[in-house]
Chain A
Amino acid sequence: MHMFLVGLLNWWYGEGWRLQWRRAQGYLSATAGFFSLGQLASTLFAPFRQISAGQVSGPIGVQMRAFFDRSFSRVFGAVFRSIFIVIGVITLLIVVIYSAIIIVFWLVVPILPIAGLILTSVGWMPAWK
C-alpha cells in the first residue's frame, strides 16, 4: 500500500503534471492548426482562391480592369481570412483558459479527500441563494 501511494503521488506531481502541460500544448497547437492560423496570416492578402490572380496582357483598360479585379479578390480574401483568424484566436484563448484550469486543478486533486472531510466536519455550505 505504501509503495502504491508513493508511486501514485510521485507520478501525479511529476510525470503526470508534465503530461498535462504537454497535452495543453497539444490542444493549442491542434487549435491553431485547425484554423490554419499560420497559413491564413502568411497569405492574408493573397487573391481568394486565385480568382482573377493571373497576369493579363492587353490594352490599358483591360489591364486596369484586371488590376481592380485582383485587388478586390485580395481585399475579399483578407477580410474572409481575418474573420477566421479572429474566430481562431478567440477559440485559442478559450483553450488556454481551459488548459490553465486543468493544470492548476491537477495540483489540488490529491488534497480533495482531506478538504472534503474538513468541509463536511466543519459543516460549511455555500449560500446558494
Chain B
Amino acid sequence: MEIDKLFRYSSPRAHKARIAVGLAPWIVSFEVGAVLLIVAGLAALAFESYLGWALIGVAAIPAMIVRWYKDYLHNLPIVENGERVDDLLDADILGHIPPQATPKQLLGAIRASHSGQFFAARMGVGPGFVEQLITDSRDDMAQVWRSALDLRSKAASRTLHGGTLMAALVLQLPQHSNLLAHLQLDDDDLVAGIRWYDRLIAVIHRQHQIVKHPGGIGRDWAFGWIPNLSHFGANISDGAGSAIELESHKDEFEQLVKTLSGDGKRNAALIGKSGSGKTELVYALASRLMSPDDDLPPELHYQQVFLLDAASLISVASGRGKLESLVDQLLGEAYAAKNIIVCLDNAQLFFEDGVGSVDLSNILLPILNAGRLPMILTMDEQRYLQIEKRTPDLAGSLNRIMLKPSTADETMAIMQDQLIMLEYRYKTIYMYQALKESYSLAERYVQDLAMPGRALKLLESASNYTQDKIVGTAEVRAAIEKTLNVKVGTANGADERDTLLNLEKLIHERMIGQERAVDAVSDALRRARAGVRNQNRPIGTFLFLGPTGVGKTELAKSLAAVYFGGEDRLIRLDMNEFVMAEDAGRLIADGANDPSSLTAQVAKQPFSVILLDEIEKAHSSVLTALLQMLDEGIMRDVNNNEVNFRDAIVIATSNAGAERISEYVGRGYKLEQFEEQFINELISSHIFHPEFLNRFDEIVVFSPLSKSELLRVVDLILAGVNKTLESQKVAVAVSPEAKQYLVESGYDPRLGARPMRRVIQKAVENIVAKEVLSGNAQPGDTVQIDLEQVKSILDKNRLATAIMSGEDTTK
C-alpha cells in the first residue's frame, strides 16, 4: 500500500515513541522507586538481611528505564536519511498517533505537542481553526503525509513537527487560501512558520551548549591588569553569555575578523545608518571570541571587547586636556594588556566638537595609523561622510566596512531571534502576522532608521497597544497610527465608515456645488480605506482647473477638515513662490534648515492633503521634481532620504484658461461638453506638458458658480456668522430678499464667490455689531435683517467707493 511507504505504524522508531509516551507519566515514580529500593537494600544489608542484595539488584531495573527515557526516548533521534514520516516525526506526536489514523485523530496528536501549540499561538493556525473542516477518513492520510514531507523539504527542516503537520492538514482543505487569507497568511507563510519553530529549537540547542567559564580560570593571567578600562569602559565580552547568531552581515563579520587579525592597521570602521546593526555586529564578535572555533584565527581567541562611550567619558573628564589624558591612559592600558579590542561606539562623537562630543583626532589618529591596538569604530553613514570631508586623514587611517540594511528575510529572522527577549520584557506573545506587518509598515513609514532597527522599533512599540498581551497586526497598525497619526489598513471603526460613506454630504456642509470634484476625491478616499487602491501611489492625485473663487482651495480645506482631522492637516504650497529653476531645491530641503520644505512637512505628517496652489506658475524644473511623487508616491530629500507621499491626497489647482471656461459657460455649454476640448487647449498652449497632466488620477474642471449656488454660499457664510455669535447667545436672520441683494452685490464673474464674504461682513456683521453694542440685541435675541438695512449699508459703501474712484454718481 502506498500509505506504508509514507508512514509505518509498526516501525521500531514509532514503537519507541509510543513507549516514551507511555513512560512519561511514570518517570518520577521510577526515579523515586529506584532510590527507595537502594536505600532499603542498604538498610537491609546493614541489618545483615540477605534481602538487601535483591532490593539493590531490583533497583537497577527502574534506574535503567529512567536513564533510557532521559538519555534517549525523551528526545528520540530521527532516522538519518529517513524518508518516511515515522522516521522524521517528533516523538511526542509520533507516540500519540493511533493505528489506522485519520486526519482528525492526527489533529488530536498535534494538539498536545509543543510545536503544535507554537503554531497555534504564533500563526493562529491551531486545531480549533480546522477542527470542523477536516475529514475523519483514513483515505485522506496519504495526501497529508505527502504534503508534510513536501513542506519539510521546502522549509529545509531536519525533522517533521507539529507545525509541519498542521500546515499539511490546512493545505488539504479545498478552500485553504480563503481560510488563510482570513488570518492574513498565505501558503509561503506556513513554510515560514515551520522555519521559525526550527530556528527557535536551534537557538535553545545553542544556549545549552554555551560554556559557563569560557577559557577557564587562568584565561587572563598572561594578560595585563586593566583597572581603568574596567572602570570607564563596558566589557561586553562579560555579558556574552548567549550565542548571538548573525542573520545578516555575515560577509561583513568575516571582513571584521580578517581586519582585526591581519598584519595591517588593525582597526575597522563599521559604517551604516542607525538601526542597520553595527552594535549588534560588535556584540556578535564579542560572543564569538568567547566561544572560539577553528574558523576563528587563534590570536583572537578570548580577546575581550570593551565599549567606550563618549558621553560617559566626557561626563567624568571636564575639559579637553583631562579627557585627552583619560582616553590616552585607557588606550595605553588596553594596548599593554594585549587581549583587548576597544570599540568606540558612535565614534563620530570622538571626532567633532559639539554638545556631547569632543574632537580627539589628535590622539586617536596616530593610534589608528599605527594599527597595533585592535579597534572598532561604529559610525553613522552621514556623519562619517561629513568627518571624511573635514578630516581626510581619518578616512585614510580606517578600514571601512559598510553595513547595508538587512533584507526582508534577514529582518524576519532577526525579529524572531529578538522576540525571545522582547516577550520576556513585555510579557507578551507576538504573532507571525505582527512580524510581517512590522516589516512592511516600518519599510513604508519609519524613515529615521535602517532595517532591521526600524522594524524592531515598531515591533517593540506595538507591545504598548495590546489588550490581551497578544501582539498581532492590529497592534502593530495601532502603534504606527498613534505615533505617526496616519491611517493604515482598511477602515474598521463604525465612525470612520460612516464618515467615508457620507463624505460628499459632509464636504457639502462646508462648500457649495462642484459635485464632480467632490465625488472624485471622495471616491479616491473610499478606495484607499477599503484597501482596493494601488499602495505604491498617493491616495489620489487631482488637478483642479477653474476660475478663482469657485471652491478649488475650499475643497482641499474641507477634505482636510472632514476626513484628515483638521485644516492643519493641509500642507499648502503657493507655487507662485517656485518660479525659478533653483526653487526645485526648496521642495526637498533638509527639514533641519527649512521646516517648510515639502519633504520635511510630509515626513512629519504623511497623512495629509497636499495643496499645490496655482501650479501653472511653477517653473518647469519644479514640475519635473514633482513627477516621481505624483507617479510613485515618493520623493527623495536633499539627504537622499525617501519621503513617503503614499498616505496623502495631492491636489494641484490652476486658474489657467479660466477665461476660456467662462466663455464656454457663457455660451451655454455644460462642463462635460467642453472639458476634453479645454484640456487639449491647455496642452496645445504649452501651459502644461502632457506627461505632467498624465500623472494625475483625474483632472477636474470647476465651473463658475451660478447665482443659485451663490445664494447657498450666503447661507453657508451666515451659518458661520451665527456660529461665531453663539457664545454671546445672539443670532442673526436675513430675509430672502436681503440675501438676494447680497448675491447681486457680491457677484463678480471674475472673482467667483470670493467677494461674498466681504459683502456679508460689511452688511450683516456690521449691523449685528451695532445692535449688540447699542444693547438692542440681548442674549437670546435674533437680529432680523431686511432688504432695506442691507441696501442702506451696501449702497452707502458703493457711493463712497464711486466718489473715491471719481465715477459718475448721478447714474
Contacts and interface: CB of A to CB of B under 8 A. Distances in A.
Given A39-B219, A119-B50, 18 more contacts: A3-B15, A11-B68, A36-B216, A36-B217, A37-B216, A49-B222, A50-B222, A77-B221, A84-B217, A110-B64, A112-B59, A113-B60, A117-B53, A117-B57, A119-B53, A120-B54, A120-B57, A121-B50
A3 B16 CA distance: 9
B60 A117 contact: no
A101 to B, nearest CB: 16
A33 B214 CA distance: 8
Contacts of A110: 60, 64
A28 to B, nearest CB: 13
Contacts of A11: 68, 72
B68 A81 contact: no
Given A8-B68, A11-B72, A19-B71, A39 B54 contact: no
A43 B221 contact: yes
B19 interface: yes
Interface string B6-43: 00000010011001000000000000000000000100
Interface of A: 3-4, 7-8, 11-12, 15-16, 19, 33-37, 39-40, 43, 46, 48-51, 53-54, 77, 80-81, 84, 109-110, 112-121, 123-125
Nearest to B59: A112
Contact of A109 (B16, B54, B55, B63): B63
Contacts of A114: 57
A50 B223 contact: yes
B218 A116 contact: no
Contact of B218 (A36, A54, A120): A36
A66 B372 CA distance: 23
Q: Which of A15, A49, A54, A116 has the most CB of B within 10 A?
A: A116
Contacts of A120: 50-54, 57
Nearest to B61: A113
23 contacts: A4-B19, A7-B12, A8-B64, A12-B68, A16-B68, A33-B215, A35-B218, A36-B218, A39-B216, A39-B219, A48-B221, A50-B224, A50-B225, A84-B218, A109-B63, A112-B56, A112-B60, A113-B57, A115-B57, A116-B58, A116-B60, A120-B51, A120-B52
Please name the 5 residue pairs, one residue from A and one from B, whose CB atoms are nearest each other, closest first. Answer: A116-B57, A36-B216, A50-B224, A36-B218, A119-B53
B216 A33 contact: yes
A81 B221 contact: yes
Nearest to A44: B222
Contact of B222 (A37, A43, A115, A118): A43
A7 B15 contact: yes
Nearest to B224: A50
Contacts of B156: none
A80 B220 CA distance: 13
A78 B337 CA distance: 18
Interface of B: 12, 15-16, 19, 41, 45, 48, 50-61, 63-65, 67-68, 71-72, 211, 213, 215-225, 336-338
A42 B47 CA distance: 56
A113 B172 CA distance: 52
Nearest to A10: B12
Chain B binding surface, main DSSP class: helix
Given A40-B221, A117-B54, A34 B216 contact: yes
B54 A15 contact: no
Contacts of A54: 336
Chain A binding surface, main DSSP class: helix
Contacts of B215: 33, 36, 39
A84 B33 CA distance: 42
B163 to A, nearest CB: 28
A7 B218 contact: no
A43 B301 CA distance: 14
Contacts of A40: 218, 221
A49 B225 contact: yes
A58 B92 CA distance: 74
Contacts of A39: 215-216, 218-219, 222
A11 B70 CA distance: 12
A38 B629 CA distance: 65
Nearest to A54: B336
A71 to B, nearest CB: 16
Contacts of B54: 116-117, 119-120
Q: Which of A4, A54, A124 has the most CB of B within 10 A?
A: A4
B58 A50 contact: no
A16 B65 contact: no
A50 B338 contact: yes
Contacts of B15: 3, 7
Given A16-B72, A49-B223, A116-B55, A7 B50 contact: no
B22 to A, nearest CB: 9
A120 B50 CA distance: 5
B485 to A, nearest CB: 56
B805 to A, nearest CB: 97
A81 B63 CA distance: 42
A41 to B, nearest CB: 10
B30 to A, nearest CB: 12
B217 A113 contact: no
Q: Which of B68, B215, B338 has the most CB of A within 10 A?
A: B68
A50 B50 contact: no
Contacts of A12: 64, 68
Contacts of A4: 19
B218 A109 contact: no
Contacts of B337: 50
Contact of A49 (B19, B48, B221): B221
A40 B67 CA distance: 37
Nearest to B338: A50
Q: Which of B12, B222, B338 has the most CB of A within 10 A?
A: B222
A24 to B, nearest CB: 14
Contacts of B59: 112
B217 A34 contact: yes
A7 B57 contact: no
Contacts of B219: 36, 39
A85 to B, nearest CB: 9
B213 A34 contact: yes
Given A110-B64, A115-B57, A125-B48, A33 B211 contact: yes
A125 B57 CA distance: 15
A77 B223 CA distance: 11
Contacts of A53: 224, 336
Contacts of B221: 36, 40, 43, 48-49, 77, 80-81
Contacts of A36: 215-219, 221
Nearest to A15: B72
Q: Which of A33, A43, A54 has the most CB of B within 10 A?
A: A33
Given A19-B71, A49-B224, A116-B54, A8 B218 contact: no
A115 B58 CA distance: 10
B229 to A, nearest CB: 13
A110 B61 CA distance: 7
B474 to A, nearest CB: 48
Nearest to B218: A36
Given A113-B57, A114-B57, A116-B53, A8 B65 contact: yes
B50 A113 contact: no
A49 to B, nearest CB: 5
B180 to A, nearest CB: 41
Contacts of A115: 53, 57
A43 to B, nearest CB: 4
A111 to B, nearest CB: 8
Q: Which of B50, B52, B53, B213 has the most CB of A within 10 A?
A: B53
A32 to B, nearest CB: 8
A109 B64 contact: yes
A84 B19 CA distance: 48
Nearest to B71: A19
B51 A113 contact: no
Contact of A116 (B48, B56, B222): B56
Contacts of B336: 50, 53-54
A7 B16 contact: yes
